[in-house]
Amino acid sequence: MVVLFSAFASLLAVGPTTPAHADPDPRRSGAQVFTGRGFDTCEAPSLGTMAAWTGSPYRAVGVYIGGRGRACPEQRHLTPDWVQGVTDMGWRLLPLYVGSQSPCVHSDRKRHYAIDPGRARDMGVAEGRDAVRQAQELGMLAASPLYLDMEAYDRADGDCADATLTFVQGWNREVRRHGYLPGFYSSAGAGVAHIQQARAAGERDLPDVMWFARWNDAPDVAGEPTLSSGDWKPHRRIHQYRGDVKETHGGRTVNIDRNLVDAPVAVIE
């Protein structure tokens, strides 16, 4: 994931004036908001790489703090000292948690981590508690967002969709109970559309922030068609607009996903 001020004009101006039913500004409850370009990558880069990348267009980085479905569980560099070090460089952090996945997840690799429909809520609560613990161990304080990564799944499968939503609601409730903001990452046409549908149906315990993947190479947080124009605003959206690309800055090459961010970031001690 060269920032020009004009690049953000559309981010802030697209769409109608904030409607009366919009969500409250998350900063009112202590969140710290970042607006700009960010990237995420499977393994947190070294401090040297992060220093080299301060000359890039990016100022936020998504890091995978935990979860049994995490593709890069080693995370050699991700420590409290790393978190403090990159924060001192001016980076803002987007903590991601890859826990149990939908029973009808599209990815074969993720099916090993499927939610048990009979235990969906309990699993969500337990993994939400673990996400909070992982964040705390890294020095991320209450009012930080924790983004649950739920890879694309078949939301048309009713039983599967119900189990997935139940898991997400349990996770959200537990994360929120500890004073953190539950966020949700998924494909725009799968998990994100499903959560929007749940919101329209009046479901409770839904995410506070939506991080949607639509790889159209056209960064835009305001105009995502699967989201209602008034929902998850202001400062509650991230658009992952391109994925699996290599970029080099300061002589260091990293494989990344590109994001446009207008959302809460980690609050660091």
Report the C-alpha gap between 140 and 93 in whole angstroms: 9
Which tokens go with 265?
């970031």
Residue 186 maps to a domain: yes
Average pLDDT score over residue span 53-61: 99
Name the nearest CA neighbour of 169 among 198, 206, 140: 206
Q: How confident is the model at residue 109 (pLDDT cuts 50, 70, 90)?
A: confident
pLDDT of residue 253: 99
Q: Which residues of 64-76 are buried (b: 16+ CB within 10 A; e: fewer)?
A: bbbbebbeeeebe
Distances (CA, A) of 31 to 24, 143, 211: 11, 5, 16
Q: What is the pLDDT of residues 152-209, one digit of tens each?
A: 999 999 999 999 999 999 999 999 999 999 999 999 999 999 999 999 999 999 999 9
CATH of the domain at 104: 3.20.20.80
Residue 19 maps to a domain: no
pTM: 0.92
Q: What is the DSSP letter of 29?
A: G
Residue 124 maps to a domain: yes
Longest Cα separation, the chain: 50
**How many separate domains does the chain show?**
1
161: exposed, middle or buried (C-beta count within 10 Å: 0-12, 13-18, 19+)? buried
Residue 4 maps to a domain: no
Contact 110, 99 (CB under 8 A): no
Residue 227 maps to a domain: yes
Q: What is the pLDDT of residues 196-212, one digit of tens each?
A: 999 999 999 999 999 99
Residue 143 maps to a domain: yes
What residues make up the domain containing 101? 46-265
Residue 56 maps to a domain: yes
Three state DSSP letters for 30-62: CCEEEEEEEEECCCCCCHHHHHHHHHCCCCEEE
Residue 79 maps to a domain: yes
Alpha helix (H) residue ranges in the chain: 9-13, 47-52, 80-88, 120-137, 158-177, 193-200
